[in-house]
């Protein structure tokens, strides 16, 4: 019989550090980016724990540095802001729930942070009655990171940055935004993408749309985030 050593089987389960939930209201995008720099530095220096910030933004289109100018809107009276996250162009505005994760990945063991975000959101949405999936990106294709309906309509955009082991940025969940804005530019470098929302899905499926408070609570719980 082979004797198992502690190195092979460690009976002590690894416990992730606590994740604190911070609820905010509508925050102008540039103000939130200034705050995010402070939040990241607080985490880097140990002045704050890992945190999940839940908020919304006034209308704005943000884009990563690799976004070609042709992807951006030419006829929208909405500010456009270049950002230091991964990904391409996307829209933020009323009716979305934004989640910014400022966490130290070095204290969470070997983890694919984007996969963790996708899976946490998928589990939360399932509890709310909405079936969703993640998609693998084929080699050579533009990124399919995010959360999608089984019909491959995009519900959640995800764009993150890791610098010095600290994550910034996060996800944008479409609850009930003005989806027509997405028709005026190329979202996420995906020319044929169909964006959707929980409102649209709920009307199509004939299921109730949860309140934003319930959505926030459910998402926070599946990330393991608490406000205590």
Q: What is the side-by-side order of every strand in the sheet holding 60-63? A: 80-82, 60-63, 90-92
Instruction: Evaluate if residue 206 carries a pLDDT over 60.
Output: yes
CA atoms of 174 and 155, how far apart (whole Å): 6
- Across residues 126-154, what is the average pLDDT? 91
Does the pLDDT value for residue 212 go beyond 50? yes
Who has greater pLDDT, 152 or 2? 152
pLDDT the model gives residue 1: 36
Contact (CB, 8 A) for 61 and 185: yes
Look over the chain and give the mean of its residue pLDDT values, rounded to a whole number: 88
CB-CB neighbours of 123 under 10 Å: 16
Q: Nearest to residue 64, comparing CAs of 157, 140, 191, 133?
A: 157
Residues 187 and 91: beta-carbon distance below 8 Å: yes
Q: Picking from 36-40, 108-112, 201-205, which range would have the lowest pLDDT averaged per residue?
A: 108-112
For the four alpha carbons of 120, 20, 34 and 47, in that order, the dihedral sign comes to: negative
Most confident of the following: 64-73, 85-94, 191-200: 191-200
Model confidence at 9: pLDDT above 80: no
pLDDT digits (tens, 9 = 90+) for 145-187: 999 999 999 999 998 899 999 999 999 999 999 999 888 877 7
Domains of the chain (ranges plus CATH)?
19-226 (3.30.930.10)
Please tell me whether the overall predicted TM-score, pTM, comes out greater than 0.85 for this model.
yes
Cβ–Cβ under 8 Å, residues 175 and 202: no
For the cut 60, the answer to whether the pLDDT of residue 3 exceeds it is no
CA atoms of 42 and 6, how far apart (whole Å): 36
Give me the catalytic one of 89, 188, 198, 215. 188
The DSSP H or E segment spanning 170 is strand 166-174
In this prediction, residue 105 carries a pLDDT of 92
Q: Which residues pair with 147 in a beta bridge?
A: 156
* Structure-block tokens of residue 95: 């009716």
Residue 110 has pLDDT above 80, yes or no: no
> Helix count (H) and strand count (E) of the chain?
4, 10
Token readout for 141 is 């294709």
Q: How confident is the model at residue 13 (pLDDT cuts 50, 70, 90)?
A: very low
**Residue 54 pLDDT greater than 60, yes or no:** yes
Torsion of CA 213, 218, 220, 226, to 10 degrees: 90
Using CA atoms, how far apart are residues 220 and 158, in angstroms rounded to an integer? 16
Q: pLDDT category, 85, cuts 50, 70, 90?
A: confident
**Catalytic annotation present for 188:** yes
pLDDT of residue 217: 98
- Which pLDDT score, from 0 to 100, does residue 94 have? 96
């Amino acid at each position: 019989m082979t004797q198992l050593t502690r190195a092979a089987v460690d009976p002590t389960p690894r416990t992730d550090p606590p994740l604190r939930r911070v609820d905010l209201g509508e925050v102008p995008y540039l103000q939130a980016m200034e705050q995010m720099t402070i939040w990241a530095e607080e985490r880097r220096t140990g002045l704050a724990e890992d945190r999940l910030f839940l908020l919304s933004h006034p209308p704005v289109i943000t884009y990563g540095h690799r976004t070609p100018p042709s992807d951006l809107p030419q006829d929208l009276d909405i500010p456009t802001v270049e950002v230091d996250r991964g990904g391409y162009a996307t829209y933020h505005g009323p009716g979305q729930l934004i989640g910014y994760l400022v966490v130290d990945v070095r204290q969470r063991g070997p983890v694919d942070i984007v996969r963790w975000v996708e899976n946490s959101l998928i589990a939360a949405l399932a509890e709310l009655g909405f079936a969703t999936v993640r998609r693998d990106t084929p080699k050579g294709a533009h990124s399919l990171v995010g959360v999608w309906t089984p019909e491959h309509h995009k519900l959640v955009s995800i764009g993150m940055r890791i610098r010095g082991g600290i994550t910034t940025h996060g996800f944008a969940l479409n609850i009930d935004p003005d989806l027509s804005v997405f028709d005026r530019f190329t979202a996420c470098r995906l020319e044929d993408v169909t964006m959707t929302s929980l409102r649209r899905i709920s009307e199509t499926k004939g299921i109730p749309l949860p309140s934003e408070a319930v959505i926030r609570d459910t998402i926070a719980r599946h990330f393991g985030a608490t406000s205590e």
